[in-house]
Structure 1
Amino acid sequence: MLQAQAAPRAIWTWEPESYAMLQRESEADAAIAFLQQKGIQTVYLYADAYQGHNLIAEQPRLYGRLIQRLHRAGIKTYALLGSAYLHTERYVLPSHRKEALAMVQRIFDYNAQAAPEQRFDGINLDIEPHILPQWSSQRLALLAGFLDMSSAIMAARRQAGQTLPIGPAIPFWLDGIALEWQGKRKPASEHVQDVYDYVALMDYRDHALGPDGIVSHGADEIAYAKAIGRTVWLGVETLPNELKKVSFEHLREADMERELGLAQRSFEDNRAFGGFVIHHYSQYQRWLKSAK
């Protein structure tokens, strides 16, 4: 059961599920009912190309219809950008900068043309340079590329006259990599937080407390966010993983709720704590059915 005063929750919703919700009202009905049942107030809805189509450009009315329905149900909708399908980890490379900017510009253009009740409430980016094969030998250069891309995206937002919040998903261990960028040397996570409005920290552990827990891994990012007026959402995993501690998949829903409750109590008095993000929609549903 959810706590009576549970922290806000969001959920990553990837290509197949997002496109299904857009194209079939029955899928949207089921999704809205599920999100409301589980107390999820924000959905990160995929909004880029998939299987040869790009519905945000080709059929924007589908997004308008779904976002309006979600809003009526009290659910905010962020455009989820970045995917394995498009290999968007390459967008941190200068040779792919135009693709990164075109990706966000489509959202800016959509919002500029959409009715207020049909606009995205924000953007969540999932661009992960550590997936690239050259990460082991070029991680500082790739992180600098990520920050350059990020700075260009935020500049494009200003140029477009948009105000919707933008933030990336980042791994919790980014605070352990020091990086010099734009004349300042600090943890890579702090550079990222300086650029964006918020971060969704991939804080993937199956327990809240202790030196290798959700709270410990999120503490530095939340402390820095508080100092600079930003927000941190803590991401949790339900996909299977070879390292059991990474995911709640091997546990029950009650176990996850207990641990998230402990994490919430550690941060609930901190204005920089935004809530939790669950990875991801279809797997979360599968897990809930199998974990009973």
Structure 2
Amino acid sequence: MRGAALAALLAIGSAHAAEPAGPRAIWTWEGESYAMLDEEGAAAQGIAFLKAKAIGTIYLYADAYRGRNLIASNPERYRRLLRRMHASGLKVYALLGSGYLNTERYVLPRHREEAVAMLKRVLDYNRAAALDERFDGINLDIEPHILAEWSTRKMELLANFVEMSDALMQVKRASGQDLPMGPAIPFWLDGIQLDWKGQRKPVSQHVQDIYDFVALMDYRDHADGGDGLVSHAMDELAYGEAIGRPVMIGIETMPNALKKVSFHHLGEADLERELAATSRSVGRMRSFGGYVVHHYAAYRRWLGLD
């Protein structure tokens, strides 16, 4: 990035950072995460960008990509990057789940061991790392509704997802590591009832019971109304309030054929206006954890930076 463009970004970002609508995180997928691990320049650019946009937490991909699995084969890359990000005041969560690896399959019992191994690699990394090199948390993005058999086996797959979630949290607890772990989930899980361990309740509530937090894929381009960010998040926020666990509200910047799903067709001022309106409605709830943006590369493109 040219110096003048970066200076302009920092100036704009500092205005937003003065009074952000809420704490912010960002999903950062395979290519962008590996670029930051491989290249000093990409890491410096990423950190400057996150700071400029008042994003305090990066969900950094931490699994295999294009024949490499750096978390296992070259952990020093992660140690170096996490030290640098922590020194800049950022929190770093390990992002697990991948379109590249088709990890939606991990909800199926025959792939359970792969899901456990994926998590254990991060836990093993953290155990061996120095304090300022450790992940601050874990975000899982494993979405059963992507599977081809979703239309005919929805309830079975949702039960598999809940079982997998319970198994992964048991692995985390057994490690003795007290780092928050939570999944990305679609907002509509609160409309599906599921029997599990003798309780019938919305799938979203089972998931919130299991994990430390959830990142709600609450993809709408406006705050208010029956089909807005606030309405779609309210059940999860209310339940999170009752059980003492936070909810991150996810927002989309990628293009989508259904305009209301993403801010892509709008501008940054529109996004900030709608997040501010959302925060006015839910910001005082103890369960409101802030916002998480999907995703690093798309957000930069939308802002005209790449």
TM-score bracket for this pair, using the shorter chain length? over 0.9
2:204 is aligned with 1:224: no
- Equivalent of residue 117 in structure 1, options 132, 154, 157: 132
Distance 1:251 1:58 in 2: 42
Separation in 1 of the partners of 2:272 and 2:83?
30
Which 5+ residue runs of structure 1 have no aligned equivalent?
A: none
In 2, Cα distance between the equivalents of 1:258 and 1:23? 36
Q: Which residue of 1 aligns with 2:45?
A: 30
> How far off is 1:3 after superposition?
6.1
Q: How much has 1:43 moved relative to structure 2?
A: 0.1
For residue 4 of structure 1, report the CA deviation from its aligned partner. 3.1
Q: Who is 1:196 aligned against?
A: 211
CA distance in 1, matches of 2:17, 2:270: 13
Matched, 1:2 2:50: no
Aligned partner (choices 63, 66, 69) of residue 84 of structure 2: 69
Structure 2 residue runs of 5 or longer lacking an equivalent are: 1-14
- The aligned counterpart of 1:272 is 287
Alignment of 1:1-292 (within 5 A): 1-2=15-16, 4-6=18-20, 7-289=22-304
TM-superposed deviation, 1:159: 1.2
Quick one: structure 1 residues 111 and 290, their matched pair in 2 at CA, closer, same or farther if it must change by over 3 Å? closer
Taking the aligned partners of 2:18 and 2:226, their CA distance within structure 1 comes to 28
Identity level (%): 63
**Who is 2:10 aligned against?**
none
Shift of 1:5: 2.8
Deviation per CA, 1:204-235, whole angstroms, max 9, x where unpaired?
00000000000000000000000001000000
Give the secondary structure class of the aligned counterpart of 2:99.
Answer: coil
- Alpha-carbon offset, residue 290 of structure 1: 7.6
Amino acid at match of 1:2: H
Q: CA RMSD in A?
A: 1.1
Q: Tell me how far 1:128 sits from its aligned partner.
A: 0.0
Partner Cα separation in structure 2 for residue 137 and residue 182 of structure 1: 23
Per-residue CA deviations over 1:244-279 (Å, capped at 9, x if unaligned) read 000000000000000000001111111100000000
Aligned to 2:8: none
TM-score (norm 1): 0.98
1:289 CA displacement? 1.1
Summarize deviations over 1:3-24 as a string: whole Å, max 9, x none. 6332100000000000000000
Question: How many pairs does the alignment contain?
Answer: 291
Secondary structure of the 2:303 match is: helix
What's the CA shift for 1:158? 1.4
- SS of 1:10 mapped into structure 2: strand
Name the CA distance, whole Å, in 2 between partners of 1:61 and 1:281.
Answer: 23
Task: Name the amino acid aligned to 2:52.
Answer: Q
Asked whether the equivalents of residues 27 and 295 of structure 2 are also in contact (C-alpha less than 8 Å), the reply is: yes
CA distance in 2, matches of 1:15, 1:225: 30
Distance 1:221 1:104 in 2: 25
Q: Is the 8 A contact 2:224 2:231 kept in 1?
A: yes
